[in-house]
């Protein structure tokens, strides 16, 4: 009897072991099967060598070459972006943020949810879920993003009022409005916006007669940058955290 291919249909929530590796970005189908046959994969400490072995994916944790990995049907990770990295999939002048992630995440096709400028730091989400990417970036859903801004000149009450009322940006007749703007120091403010236009925060501050010197994103939706996550570090986002992110 012919052996069943490892990628044939199985019970819901179950995959062949090589298919599990393939879905998580550990290489091509052939490479994943070879990894299993070479004895590099363990589940609960047990070496697994059958690429066809059925595996329940719920709460699955496995290891490849000694590195532990949790199964995620869709990848969503939170990265503390450092300065000097581009969010482009094809960076030109600086290293790309994808270089900060492990190879399996890069190979399964995660991409940034929106963009931060190379000199901007802070919370950046990356995912391989197209529907989620659209929901978090579409202006229609108005997902709030909070920025900590350092300015060249002192922040005045008039500037804060203008940012909340809406300012017209260069080459864009649509007013850009902050849903919240508050001074956090003489030359610092916290700004909340729900759009993601090109250089939006920098252009908004320029429109009120100031200039951005430092820019850090601290929050997207209800997801805040964890205080213990250092620049360049990342972690998985739990589904429950994401479900609380605002959506309209």
Burial class (CB in 10 A: 0-12, 13-18, 19+), 174: exposed
Alpha-carbon span 166 to 160, nearest angstrom? 10
What is the model's pLDDT at position 247?
41
Using the predicted structure, report yes or no on whether residue 4 has a pLDDT greater than 50.
no
What is the per-residue pLDDT across 146-193, written as a single tens digit (0 to 9) for each? 999 999 999 999 999 999 999 999 878 889 999 999 999 999 999 999
Q: What's the longest Cα–Cα distance across the chain?
A: 80
Q: What average pLDDT does the structure give for the chain?
A: 89
Question: pLDDT tier at 12 (50, 70, 90 boundaries)?
Answer: low
pLDDT of residue 123: 97
Q: What is the pLDDT of residue 242?
A: 61
The Cα 209–Cα 167 span in angstroms is 11
Give me the mean pLDDT over the 45-51 stretch: 94
pLDDT of residue 238: 74
> Shortest CA distance to 117 belongs to which of 183, 200, 61?
200
- 117 a catalytic residue: yes
SS3 204: helix
Domains contained in the chain, CATH given: 14-70 (3.10.290.10), 76-139+222-243 (3.30.70.580), 144-220 (3.30.70.1560)
Nearest Cα residue to 101 out of 75, 119, 121, 83: 75
From 117, 119, 129, 241, the catalytic residue: 117
pTM for this one?
0.86
What is the C-alpha separation between 193 and 200, in angstroms, rounded? Answer: 9
Least confident of 27-31, 32-36, 140-144: 140-144
């Amino acid at each position: 009897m012919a052996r069943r291919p490892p990628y044939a249909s199985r019970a819901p929530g179950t995959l062949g072991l090589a298919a599990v590796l393939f879905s998580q970005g550990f290489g091509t189908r052939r490479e994943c099967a070879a990894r299993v046959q070479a004895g590099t994969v363990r589940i609960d400490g047990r070496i697994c060598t059958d690429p066809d072995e059925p595996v329940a994916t719920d709460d699955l944790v496995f290891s490849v070459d000694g590195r532990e990995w949790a199964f995620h049907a869709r990848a969503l990770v939170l990265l503390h972006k450092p300065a000097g990295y581009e969010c482009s999939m094809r960076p030109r002048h600086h290293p790309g943020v994808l270089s900060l992630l492990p190879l399996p995440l890069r190979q399964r096709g995660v991409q940034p949810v929106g963009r931060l400028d190379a000199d901007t730091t802070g919370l950046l989400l990356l995912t391989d879920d197209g529907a989620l990417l659209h929901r978090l970036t579409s202006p229609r859903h108005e997902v709030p993003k909070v920025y900590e801004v350092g300015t060249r000149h002192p922040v005045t009450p008039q500037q804060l009022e203008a940012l909340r009322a809406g300012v017209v940006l260069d080459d864009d007749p649509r007013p850009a409005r902050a849903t919240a703007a508050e001074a956090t120091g003489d030359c610092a403010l916290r700004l909340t916006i729900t759009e993601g236009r090109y250089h939006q925060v920098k252009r908004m501050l320029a429109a009120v007669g100031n200039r951005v010197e430092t820019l850090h994103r601290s929050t997207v939706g209800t997801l805040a940058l964890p205080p213990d996550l250092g620049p360049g570090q990342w972690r998985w986002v739990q589904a429950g955290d994401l479900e609380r992110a605002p959506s309209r």
